[in-house]
Amino acid sequence: MKVSPLPQMATPPSTANRLQAAAEDLEAVFLAEMLKSAGLGKTRQSFEGGAGEDQFSSFLVQHQAQQLARSGGVGLSEILLQSMMEKTNDT
């Protein structure tokens, strides 16, 4: 009987990778609020989607904001990342 090797354990993400992900998440939250303020995701009278449309439109806005942040966003994540990196280097 041949024993198969154990699967390789994924290496934990580095601090820089975790901070980058956190910065993108923060930018996505910011962008979602901006998109909501701009009226994206509001119920349109022409579709008459009712309560379901109201509930799921927030998911759409959140997803769009995440995609914007991952594709470069407005540059907020870069500023946040630099600030967080400075804080981690101080400690």
Structure confidence by residue, pLDDT tens digits, 65-75: 999 999 988 99
Confidence of residue 29 (pLDDT cuts 50, 70, 90): very high
Tokens of 64: 């769009």
Residues ≥6 apart with Cβ < 8 Å to 20: 77, 81
Predicted pLDDT at 89: 79
Position 41: which residue type? G
For residue 60, report the phi and psi dihedrals to the nearest 5 degrees: -65, -45
pLDDT at 63: 92
Residue 65: burial class (beta carbons within 10 Å; 0-12, 13-18, 19+): buried
Can you give the pTM of this predicted structure? 0.71
